[in-house]
Amino acid sequence: MPAKQKKPKHNPFVQVFHFKHDKTKEGRLLSSVKIGDVYMSRLTIKPGIITGNYFRKKNMLMFYVESGNVFSVCEHAQSKERKEFHLKPGEQVVHVPPMVSLATKNIGKTTAILVFFSTRPIRDETDYFSYVVMGNVET
């Protein structure tokens, strides 16, 4: 009787991943998916809405504005070094290291969309801590 042959592992040519949507915060929609070791998130923000005001101890973020007009503030939670910048679609990519609080505000008249890449989920409850750098809002 011949030995059983193992089926070869199937490596699909193309994989499709599905976003999980989080509508728990008013004025915004966070859609996220994990692809390999990277998290990709798409944040849709209504005009006038402030998001963020958190720092992360471990997570590293990179983001850009896909559409809209966004003002952003970053401040290091320990050194207090601070940067403010106006972001427009397709012009900048921002890297936010651990221990830096980030807040964004849609300053335009239409919906803004930000695209994030990160090492952990953006709303990882074990790794984000309130630190207000813009306004006095919960996000």
Model confidence at 135, pLDDT cuts 50, 70, 90, reads: confident
Is residue 65 one of the residues assigned to a domain? yes
Is residue 13 one of the residues assigned to a domain? no
Task: Evaluate whether 31 touches 15 at the Cβ level (below 8 Å).
Answer: no
pLDDT of res. 6? 63
* 20 vs 13: which has the higher pLDDT: 20
As to burial, measured by CB atoms within 10 angstroms (0-12 exposed, 13-18 middle, 19+ buried), residue 27 is middle
* Minimum mean pLDDT range among 5-14, 18-27, 58-67, 116-125: 5-14
Is residue 38 one of the residues assigned to a domain? yes
Model confidence at 137, pLDDT cuts 50, 70, 90, reads: very low
Is residue 79 one of the residues assigned to a domain? yes
Is residue 103 one of the residues assigned to a domain? yes
Chain centroid to CA 49: how far?
Answer: 16
Furthest-apart CA atoms within the chain: distance in Å:
74
Residue 67 sits in a domain of what CATH number?
2.60.120.10
Is residue 17 one of the residues assigned to a domain? no
Q: How many domains does the chain have?
A: 1
Residue 80: give the domain boundaries.
28-130
- In this predicted structure, the answer to whether residue 77 has a pLDDT above a threshold of 70 is yes
Report the side by side order of strands in the sheet with 70-76.
82-87, 70-76, 100-106, 50-56, 128-130
The pLDDT mean for the chain works out to 92
Query: 91 is written with which tokens?
Result: 């012009």
